[in-house]
Amino acid sequence: MQSIDIFPWDDHFNTGIQTIDTQHRKLVAILNSLATKMAYGSHQEGLSGVFDELIEYTLYHFQTEEAIWSKYLADDSLDEEHKSVHQSFIDTALRLKSEQDSKPLSELADDTLGFLARWLASHILDTDRHMSYIVFALQNGKSLEEAKVEAQTQMSGSSRLLINIILSIYSTLSSNTLHLMRELKSHIFFEEKIKYQEKYRQFLFELSVSFINIPLHDLDTAIDEALEKMASFVGADRAYIFVYDVNAQTASNTYEWCGEDIIPQLKVLQELPLSLMPGWYETHSRGEDIFIEDVTALPEGSL
């Protein structure tokens, strides 16, 4: 039985605290085991056993984390907030487990694996990384307030942008893996398409980890290269990134890649009224895609 990794691990996810990193890898391995069993329609007892293992090990991991954070952040609001986040996760995981007998396996997989993969990626890259920065600053002799400011600086600006990019890609990777799981279970897709989906998953994984720990001064170049890779993968001759300005009701092109003989439009595509692209902002705000099969069929006056 081929393993289905809904969360491919990469050492770039390490926080630098060995105990926590080892436990994170174990959590990811259990999650991927659960995904594999769901993909191949394992019987309920097998699923329940892996689910129990995931919850039990998560509780153990949270206890380890909280002991470390409390050692350095005792009575600080960050410590309490972290514990609250942990409890919220456990509550949701237990609720999802309680639904495994009442939901179809496909729906359970979507709800459970999607939530677990997205939460774990955010937990490791965002919350735990922030806390580890504070610990390292304290170990280097900073006061708690100085350590918190230093950690916040490390997590803000371009670093925050990088984290958001990676989490967005991992969310897409998770959704794509769930789609692949449904294909494996239903057996209605051709083998070549399944191979393509697996290739696409691997591409997204490699793209996402390439942004982890990248020097901030290389960010623009990395985004340009990522656009080229994405366009090449799907056979497109151009790729753009736009930023919405909700207050001004405009969208501006911030990054662009063009193939040979394609005229760049970066300087032209600035402060475009959202009225030219009705519904785009709302759709993207929900985390959904927009697919335009034929641009010539777009309403007159729109992009």
What is the rounded distance in angstroms from the CA atom of residue 57 to the CA atom of residue 63? 10
What is the rounded distance in angstroms from the CA atom of residue 119 to the CA atom of residue 106? 20
> What pLDDT is stored for residue 146 in this prediction?
94
Is residue 285 in a domain?
yes
> What pLDDT is stored for residue 75 in this prediction?
83
CATH number at 125 reads: 1.20.120.50
Residue 43 has pLDDT above 60, yes or no: no
Strands 238-245 and 250-258: antiparallel
- DSSP, residue by residue, the chain: -----SS---GGG--S-HHHHHHHHHHHHHHHHHHHHHHTT--HHHHHHHHHHHHHHHHHHHHHHHHHHHHHHTT-HHHHHHHHHHHHHHHHHHHHHHTTTTS-HHHHHHHHHHHHHHHHHHIIIIIIHHHHHHHHHHHTT--HHHHHHHHHHHHSTHHHHHHHHHHHHHHHHHHHHHHHHHHHHH--S-HHHHHHHHHHHHHHHHHHHTTTT--GGGHHHHHHHHHHHHHHHHT-SEEEEEEEETTTTEEEEEEEEE-TTPPP-TTTS-SEEGGGSTTHHHHHHTT-----S-GGGSPTT--
> What pLDDT is stored for residue 192 in this prediction?
62
Is residue 220 in a domain?
no
Q: What is the pLDDT of residues 84-140, one digit of tens each?
A: 989 988 888 888 878 776 766 566 666 777 778 788 888 888 889 889 999 999 999
Count the neighbouring beta carbons within 10 Å of the beta carbon of residue 38.
26
Q: What predicted TM-score, i.e. pTM, was given to this entire model?
A: 0.62
Q: Are residues 42 and 170 in the same domain?
A: yes
> What pLDDT is stored for residue 147 in this prediction?
92
Residue 34, amino acid: L
Which residues lie below 8 Å from residue 136, measured CB to CB, with a gap of 6+?
16
pLDDT band at 23 (very low <50, low <70, confident <90, very high): very high
What is the rounded distance in angstroms from the CA atom of residue 50 to the CA atom of residue 78? 31
Domain stops at, among 214, 249, 273? 214
Q: Are residues 51 and 170 in the same domain?
A: yes
Q: Are residues 121 and 59 in the same domain?
A: yes
> What pLDDT is stored for residue 235 in this prediction?
86
CA-to-CA dists, residue 164 to 6, 150, 169, 211, angstroms: 19, 20, 9, 10
pLDDT band at 174 (very low <50, low <70, confident <90, very high): low
> What pLDDT is stored for residue 46 in this prediction?
61
Residue 164 has pLDDT above 80, yes or no: no
Q: Are residues 28 and 102 in the same domain?
A: yes
What is the rounded distance in angstroms from the CA atom of residue 177 to the CA atom of residue 299? 34
Is residue 124 in a domain?
yes
Q: What is the pLDDT of residues 200-236, one digit of tens each?
A: 878 887 887 777 777 778 888 888 999 999 999 888 8
pLDDT band at 181 (very low <50, low <70, confident <90, very high): low
> What pLDDT is stored for residue 1 in this prediction?
53
> What total number of domains does the chain contain?
2
Is residue 2 in a domain?
no
What percent of the chain stands above pLDDT 70?
Answer: 77
CA-to-CA dists, residue 158 to 83, 170, 214, 216, 259, angstroms: 27, 18, 10, 6, 27
Is residue 118 in a domain?
yes
> What pLDDT is stored for residue 159 in this prediction?
62
Domain that holds residue 163: 11-214
Among all chains, which residue has been given the structure tokens 């803000």?
A: 156
Domain stops at, among 214, 249, 280? 214
Structural contact between residues 167 and 125, judged by C-beta atoms closer than 8 angstroms: yes
Who has greater pLDDT, 108 or 196?
Answer: 196
> What pLDDT is stored for residue 10 in this prediction?
78
pLDDT band at 177 (very low <50, low <70, confident <90, very high): low
Q: What is the pLDDT of residues 240-294, one digit of tens each?
A: 999 999 999 999 999 999 988 889 999 999 999 998 888 888 988 887 888 877 7
Q: What is the pLDDT of residues 57-71, one digit of tens each?
A: 999 999 999 999 989
Q: Are residues 57 and 95 in the same domain?
A: yes
> What pLDDT is stored for residue 167 in this prediction?
65
Q: Are residues 203 and 250 in the same domain?
A: no
